[in-house]
């Protein structure tokens, strides 16, 4: 029987060791997942028995460091040495605030509370002989109150605060004697508290204890004189844990039914290159941090081969008996992840030239693969905010959202057995080597007050909502909509500019060629001969670039094309009496050819750019838009364009995206006048004959409150929208003046920067629109709490930030932001017709399978459909941005390799949406719309000049007949010969 048991033990060991470095497949697996679909936010819920927890550590929060017989810990001593300024003597004073802590725990709605026992509060000198009844009763009381609140305790025996007596007398964890002492301490805890505790953590983060407590000296006890000491310390920590596990397994498990593990922390790492060597270095980096302790516990009782190979004799070795003693001594994988380690306590030497990253999902997958699919309890996770942050901590909230969302994907998509998640921490406290410089609590603690009142932060409210819903259940507004747009919906594509060819490329070659029709049909150029110059006027058909561009536009399937004219090129002197007639003729040809292809041209008169003003040189050098005469000159330029191009153009944009934050209020004031003058000119002089429409297009990325339930964040979001959109929209579409919120805010700042409309200008500007056009690309979050000076706008007192779960490229991809922007227009300006004049995403131009753009267009158009069908927005059209990478690099539906034009995947997908006029319900009857005549680029000749058209057809027939006769005569002659 014993031999059989030994055989099974050997087979189990062999199976465990059968796949060394199984986690190595992690990077390859995630690189092959569908992009960006796999990066999209996953709506769903966690398993019903999922454990939601929150945690603390004794030294960080308890305080009362000398009260009721407590002995000193190594942190009490460490914080009084060197250059350290703060201590955890009081912390959050949890020792005197059990009721407040329990109240906070109950408010969160967690099922589990993780806390640690202060070893020196129970045994002041570290051994049973110094037993402290009062200190022990504190934990009895805490556990009893937790049980009364139906919250299960998760108890950590050792969270870095070794009794100082053991450090001073024995050298702490460097002494193997601590293995037995720790076992005895654990025995007392199991015996005293074990009937009420089902989850035990023996030791928290042994990597930090060993490497930084006994190696770098960053944390207590601060020893740093022996580079090999951390490995001996780690060796003893593993033995101590194993001793406690076996003790529990033999004497307590059958009665108490609890589970034990060691909390192991890790960073995540990504390869700097795609080579296998980089992947192996990533694996080795994880082995040196997480594998150092995880492999002995979960695999074979020994250290990772990578560590053994690189450290050699510096790394202690286990005897066979010790391996058996250590191996398998974890009932679940207790994983810590986040700010305690990542990007702080992992130095470059442990990254092996690779890149650190905050990817909890990949780490969970790696642990699952590397350690034979253990149940994983995330026992510490979260991020931090600066020490001056109070109850508004959206940064922490969004990191929590990210980590919880990654845990959900790990369960649902990757099949990892994640059994619980612990947000860290319950309240603000002493943050180890960072002291009080950062805060990690869900509850704010004012350390300068006596009562240490706990106030819930935005992150606490967020976490409570997640727990109540058990994750992120899909809401109706998150689901894709089904439906179609109206028959007259404008489907378009935009480009900042078009390719201009001022010299006709057709009939411009004077060379003479010989056509070898009897052989291969090649044209042979005859040297020294040239044809006489053609004496004829230029025709639109002479421009090959026009035909090429119109053909590209037509192939997209759109019925509208939006592009911008070049004011400085059309009127170089600024005087419309001397325009560039060649360029004007080119634009005339271009718009006419568009119409012949059944594509309506939408023309912008002036497109604002960061790089250059695009104003005619005389205006540019004469104070640009600050000069009132520029507005008058723009109106004259508009008249020129209406007059010359108005027969073909029925939709005009005066100014495209003038509401740039780099534009001053004085410049913006003159731009508004310029737009109004141009609109009034069209309305009075051209509308009755041309029947077109005129407006301006505003850049309108959405601005969302970082915490939508907080008035403190809602107000800054409204303020930003007033300053970014209302600045130009309200004078035109609303009151004829700047938004009240904008004026009142600047008045508070004692600013006189915002100009005042006189009555004449107010009446001039107000109502100068035929539709509301927006360019929309992305969404930002704003909060009033300053966190990062680089993204803080002091003038508006707003902090810009992003949700870390959003897809980035490089701006956030947030489809629902478009729907909110459209609703903002409806709420402010009622039933005004709205056009999304530009909407697109930047992606690597070399990526012709542009899956991100496919995802982007589908989801943004779907949100536009929701705005139209569900919200009642008077949406008239949607324009994808942009046509081609050649003119708008990274945004195009067409790519380019040398001279070859490449049709990207997004073009086909966009065309398919257009052909279906949206997203029709499957099985529904086709939409009945009037058919659009197919373009016939030569048919207009028959309509406008029927006699010429008839003669042309007859002449063509005669030429074809003669050609056939000559061809067959020559062929028969050749056969006879």
pLDDT tens digit sequence for 293-312: 999 999 999 999 999 999 99
Beta bridge partners of residue 749, listed in sequence order: none
How would residue 964 be classed by pLDDT, with cut points 50, 70 and 90?
low
**For the chain, how long is the longest CA-to-CA vector?**
125
| Residue 914 predicted with pLDDT over 50 | yes
Average pLDDT over residues 750-760: 93
Least confident span in 9-23, 139-153, 610-624, 794-808: 9-23
Confidence at 969, pLDDT banded by 50, 70, 90: low
Compute the average pLDDT of residues 799-825: 96
* 977 pLDDT higher than 60: no
Scan for tokens 């191996």, then name that residue.
Answer: 327
pLDDT band at 608 (very low <50, low <70, confident <90, very high): confident
Report how far residue 883's alpha carbon sits from residue 892's, in angstroms, rounded to the nearest whole number: 5
Q: In this predicted structure, what is the pLDDT of residue 344?
A: 74
533: pLDDT confidence band, cut at 50, 70 and 90?
low
What lies within 8 Å, CB to CB, of 242 at 6+ separation is: 325, 326, 329
User: Please, which pLDDT band fits residue 851 given cuts at 50, 70 and 90?
Assistant: very high
Residue with token string 């037995």: 180
Mean pLDDT, the chain, rounded, equals 91
DSSP 881-941: E-SBTTTSTTT-SEEEETTEEEE-HHHHHHHHHHHTTEEPPTTPPPP--PPPPPP-TTTHH
Confidence of residue 789 (pLDDT cuts 50, 70, 90): confident
Band of the pLDDT at 810, cuts 50, 70, 90? confident
Which backbone phi and psi does 295 adopt, to 5 degrees?
Answer: -65, -45
pTM for this prediction: 0.89
Encode pLDDT of 381-433 as tens digits.
999 999 999 998 989 999 999 999 999 999 999 999 999 999 999 999 999 99
> Per-residue pLDDT for 935 more than 60?
no
For residues 625 and 965, is the Cβ–Cβ distance under 8 A?
A: no
H, E, C per residue of 661-700 = CCCCHHHHHHHHHHHHHHHHHHHHHCHHHHCCEEEEEEEC
pLDDT category at 12 given cuts 50, 70, 90 is: very low
Predicted pLDDT of residue 521: 65
Element (H, E) at 790: none
For residue range 546-561, list pLDDT tens digits in order.
Answer: 999 999 999 999 999 9
Cis peptide before 295 (omega within 30 of 0): no
- 687 CB-near residues (< 8 Å, 6+ apart): none
- As a whole number, mean pLDDT of residues 331-358 equals 87
pLDDT at 569 over 60: yes
**Helical (H) or strand (E) element with 592:** helix 581-596
- The yes-or-no verdict on residue 45 having pLDDT over 70 is yes
**Predicted local distance difference test score (pLDDT) of residue 942:** 41
Determine phi and psi for 32, rounding to 5 degrees.
-100, -5
Q: How high is the pLDDT of residue 2?
A: 47
pLDDT at 85 over 90: no
Q: How far apart are CA 642 and CA 658, in angstroms?
A: 21
Q: What percent of the chain has pLDDT over 90?
A: 81
More confident residue, 544 or 110: 110
pLDDT of residue 214 exceeding 60, the answer is: yes
Who's near 497: CB < 8 A, 6+ residues apart?
563, 564, 566, 607, 887
The pLDDT value recorded for residue 718 is 96
Given a cut of 90, is residue 519 above it in pLDDT?
no
Q: What is the pLDDT of residue 7?
A: 37
Averaged pLDDT for residues 79-94: 92
pLDDT in tens, 874-894: 999 999 999 999 999 999 999
d(CA 738, CA 128): 75
**pLDDT mean over 727-748:** 96
| pLDDT, tens digit (0-9, with 9 covering 90-100), for 445-460 | 999 999 999 999 999 9
Least confident segment among 243-247, 403-407, 705-709:
705-709
pLDDT at 540: 84
Task: Report strand pairing: 812-813 vs 376-382.
Answer: unpaired
Q: How confident is the model at residue 1 (pLDDT cuts 50, 70, 90)?
A: very low
Mean pLDDT of 575-603: 96
**Banded pLDDT at 339 (limits 50, 70, 90):** confident
Predicted pLDDT of residue 15: 42
Q: How far is it, in rounded angstroms, from Cα 208 to Cα 340?
A: 9
Cα gap 807→830, rounded to integer Å: 32
In this model, does residue 364 exceed pLDDT 80? yes
pLDDT band at 931 (very low <50, low <70, confident <90, very high): confident
pLDDT, residue 975, reads 41
String of DSSP letters for 419-484: EEEEEE-SB----GGGTTSEE--SEEE-TTSSS--EEE-HHHHHHHHHHHHTEEPPPGGGSPP-EE
Please tell me the distance from the alpha carbon of residue 923 to that of residue 955, in angstroms, as a whole number: 51
Burial 134-165 (b: 16+ CB within 10 A, else e): ebbebbeebbebbeeeebbbbbbbbbbbbbbb
pLDDT bracket for residue 769 (50, 70, 90): very high
The reported pLDDT for the residue numbered 966 is 64
CA 283 – CA 322 distance, rounded (Å)? 25
Task: Give the pLDDT of residue 539.
Answer: 78
Q: Which two tokens stand for residue 238?
A: 């593993």
Range in 182-191, 494-503, 931-940 with the lowest mean pLDDT: 931-940
Given pLDDT bands bounded at 50, 70 and 90, which one contains residue 63?
A: very high
For the cut 90, the answer to whether the pLDDT of residue 957 exceeds it is: no
Rg (CA), the chain: 37
Pairing of strands 894-897, 900-903: antiparallel
Nearest to 567 by CA among 610, 533, 536, 605: 605
User: What pLDDT score does 973 carry?
Assistant: 46
d(CA 728, CA 65) in angstroms, rounded, equals 61
Mean pLDDT confidence for 462-476: 96
pLDDT in tens, 94-150: 999 999 999 999 999 999 999 999 999 999 999 999 999 999 999 999 999 999 999
Instruction: Strands of 233-299 (E only): list them.
Output: 259-265, 268-270
Q: How confident is the model at residue 16 (pLDDT cuts 50, 70, 90)?
A: very low
pLDDT at residue number 955: 64
Instruction: Sort residue 944 into left (φ over 0), alpha (ψ -120 to 50) or beta.
Output: alpha
pLDDT for the residue numbered 346: 78
Check pLDDT > 50 for residue 14.
Answer: no
Residue 544 CA: distances (Å) to CA of 230, 540, 586, 594: 74, 9, 11, 14
Q: 234 near 242, Cβ under 8 Å?
A: no
At residue 709, the pLDDT reads 74
pLDDT at 35 over 70: yes
Query: pLDDT-based confidence at 786, cuts 50/70/90?
Result: confident
Residue recorded with tokens 């934050």: 661
Burial 577-597 (b: 16+ CB within 10 A, else e): eebbeebbebbbbbbbbbbbb
> What tokens does 716 get?
């800054």
Per-residue pLDDT at 949 exceeds 50: yes
Least confident of 32-36, 82-86, 255-259, 408-412: 82-86
What does the pLDDT average to over 714-742? 97
Q: Which one, of 85, 73, 76, 789, lies nearest residue 434 by Cα?
A: 85
Rounded CA-CA distance 689/694 in Å is 14
Min mean pLDDT across 269-278, 707-716, 858-867 is at 707-716
CA 123/CA 121 separation, integer angstroms: 6
pLDDT attached to residue 3: 45
Minimal CA–CA distance to 120: which of 209, 185, 30, 169? 185
Q: How many angstroms separate the CA atoms of 854 and 837, rounded?
A: 18
- Mean pLDDT computed over 473-477: 92
The reported pLDDT for the residue numbered 74 is: 98
Contact 563, 495 (CB under 8 A): yes
**Percent of the chain whose predicted confidence (pLDDT) is above 70:** 90
Q: Which residue has the higher pLDDT, 21 or 229?
A: 229
Calpha distance 252→246 (Å, rounded): 10
Distance from C-alpha of 559 to C-alpha of 931, rounded to nearest angstrom: 13
Give residue-wise pLDDT tens across range 657-682: 999 999 999 999 999 999 999 999 99
Average pLDDT over residues 61-79: 97
């Amino acid at each position: 029987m014993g031999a059989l048991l030994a055989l099974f033990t050997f087979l189990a060991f062999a199976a465990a060791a059968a796949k060394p470095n199984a986690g190595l497949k992690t990077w390859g697996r995630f690189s092959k997942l569908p992009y960006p679909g796999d990066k999209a936010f996953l709506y769903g819920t966690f398993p019903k028995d999922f454990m939601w927890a929150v945690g603390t550590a004794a030294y960080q929060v308890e305080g009362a460091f000398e009260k009721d017989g407590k002995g000193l810990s190594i942190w009490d001593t460490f914080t009084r040495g060197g250059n350290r300024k703060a201590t955890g003597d009081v912390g959050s004073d949890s020792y005197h605030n059990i009721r407040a802590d329990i109240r906070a725990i109950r408010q969160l709605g967690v099922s589990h509370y993780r806390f640690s026992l202060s070893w020196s509060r129970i045994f002041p000198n570290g051994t049973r002989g110094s037993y402290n009844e009062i200190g022990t009763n504190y934990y009895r009381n805490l556990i009893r109150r937790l049980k009364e609140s139906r919250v299960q305790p998760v108890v950590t025996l050792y969270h870095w605060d070794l009794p100082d007596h053991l450090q001073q007398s024995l050298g702490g964890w460097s002494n193997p004697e601590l293995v037995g002492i720790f076992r005895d301490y654990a025995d007392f805890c199991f015996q005293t508290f074990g009937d009420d505790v089902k989850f035990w953590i023996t030791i928290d983060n042994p990597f930090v204890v060993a490497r930084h407590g006994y190696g770098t000296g960053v944390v207590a006890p601060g020893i740093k004189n022996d580079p090999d000491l951390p490995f001996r310390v780690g060796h003893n920590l593993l033995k101590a844990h194993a001793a406690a596990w076996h003790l529990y397994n033999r004497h307590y498990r059958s009665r108490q039914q609890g589970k034990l593990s060691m909390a192991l922390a890790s960073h995540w790492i990504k390869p700097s290159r795609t080579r296998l060597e980089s992947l192996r270095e990533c694996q080795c980096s994880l082995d040196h941090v997480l594998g150092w302790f995880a492999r002995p516990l979960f695999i074979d009782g020994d250290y990772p081969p990578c560590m053994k190979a690189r450290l050699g004799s510096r790394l202690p070795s286990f005897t066979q008996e010790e391996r058996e003693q250590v191996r398998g001594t974890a009932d679940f994988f207790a994983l810590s992840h986040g700010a305690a380690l990542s990007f702080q306590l992992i130095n470059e030497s442990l990254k092996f030239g690779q890149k650190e990253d905050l990817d909890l999902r990949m780490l969970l997958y790696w642990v699952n693969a590397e350690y034979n699919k253990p149940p994983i309890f995330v026992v510490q996770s979260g991020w931090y905010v600066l020490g001056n942050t109070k109850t508004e901590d959206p940064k922490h909230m969004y990191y929590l959202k990210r980590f919880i969302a990654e845990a959900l994907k790990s369960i649902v998509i990757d099949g990892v057995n994640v059994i619980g998640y612990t947000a860290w921490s319950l309240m603000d406290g002493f943050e180890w080597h960072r002291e009080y410089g950062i805060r990690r609590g869900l509850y704010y603690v004012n350390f300068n007050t006596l009562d240490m009142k706990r106030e819930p932060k935005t992150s606490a409210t967020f976490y409570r909502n997640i727990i109540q819903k058990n994750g992120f259940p899909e809401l109706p507004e998150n689901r894709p909509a089904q439906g179609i747009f109206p028959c007259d919906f404008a489907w378009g594509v935009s480009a900042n500019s078009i390719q201009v060819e001022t010299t006709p490329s057709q009939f411009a070659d004077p060379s003479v060629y010989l056509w070898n029709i009897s052989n291969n049909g090649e044209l042979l150029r005859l040297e020294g001969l040239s044809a006489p110059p053609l004496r004829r006027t230029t025709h639109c058909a002479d421009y090959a670039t026009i035909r090429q561009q119109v053909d590209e536009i037509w192939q997209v399937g759109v019925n509208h094309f939006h592009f911008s004219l070049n004011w400085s090129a059309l009127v170089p002197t600024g005087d419309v009496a001397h325009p560039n007639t060649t360029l004007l003729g080119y634009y005339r040809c271009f718009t006419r050819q568009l119409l012949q292809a059944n594509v309506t041209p939408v023309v912008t008169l002036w497109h604002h750019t960061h790089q250059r003003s695009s104003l005619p040189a005389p205006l540019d050098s004469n104070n640009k838009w600050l000069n009132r005469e520029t507005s008058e000159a723009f109106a004259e330029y508009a008249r020129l364009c209406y007059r010359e191009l108005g027969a073909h153009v029925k939709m005009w944009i005066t100014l495209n995206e003038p509401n740039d934050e780099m534009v001053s209020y004085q410049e913006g004031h003159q731009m508004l006048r310029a737009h109004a003058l141009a609109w009034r000119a069209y309305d009075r002089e051209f509308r009755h004959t041309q029947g077109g429409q005129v407006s301006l297009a505003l850049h309108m990325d959405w601005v969302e409150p970082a915490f939508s339930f907080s008035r403190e964040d809602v107000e800054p979001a409204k303020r930003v929208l007033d300053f970014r959109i209302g600045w130009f929209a309200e004078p035109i579409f609303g009151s004829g003046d700047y938004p009240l919120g904008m004026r009142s805010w600047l008045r508070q700042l004692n600013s006189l920067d915002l100009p005042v409309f006189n009555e004449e200008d107010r009446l001039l500007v107000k109502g100068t629109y035929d539709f509301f056009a927006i360019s929309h690309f992305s969404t930002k979050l704003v909060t009033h709490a300053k966190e990062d000076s680089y993204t803080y706008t002091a003038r508006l007192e707003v902090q810009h930030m992003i949700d870390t779960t959003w897809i980035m490229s490089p701006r956030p991809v947030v489809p629902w932001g478009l729907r909110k922007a459209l609703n903002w227009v409806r709420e402010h300006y009622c039933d005004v017709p709205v056009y999304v004049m530009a909407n697109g995403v930047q992606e690597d131009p070399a990526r012709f399978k542009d899956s991100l753009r496919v995802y982007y267009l589908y989801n943004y158009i779907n949100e536009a459909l929701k705005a139209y069908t569900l919200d009642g927005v008077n949406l008239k059209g949607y324009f994808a941005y942009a046509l081609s990478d050649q003119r708008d690099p990274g945004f195009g539906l067409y790519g380019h390799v040398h001279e070859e034009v490449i049709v990207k995947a997004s073009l086909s997908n966009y065309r398919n949406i257009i052909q279906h006029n949206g997203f029709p319900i499957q099985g529904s009857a086709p939409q009945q719309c009037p058919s659009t005549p197919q373009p016939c680029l030569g048919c207009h000749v028959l309509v406008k000049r029927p006699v010429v058209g008839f003669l042309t057809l007859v002449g063509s027939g005669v030429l074809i007949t003669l050609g056939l006769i000559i061809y067959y005569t020559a062929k028969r002659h050749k056969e006879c010969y």
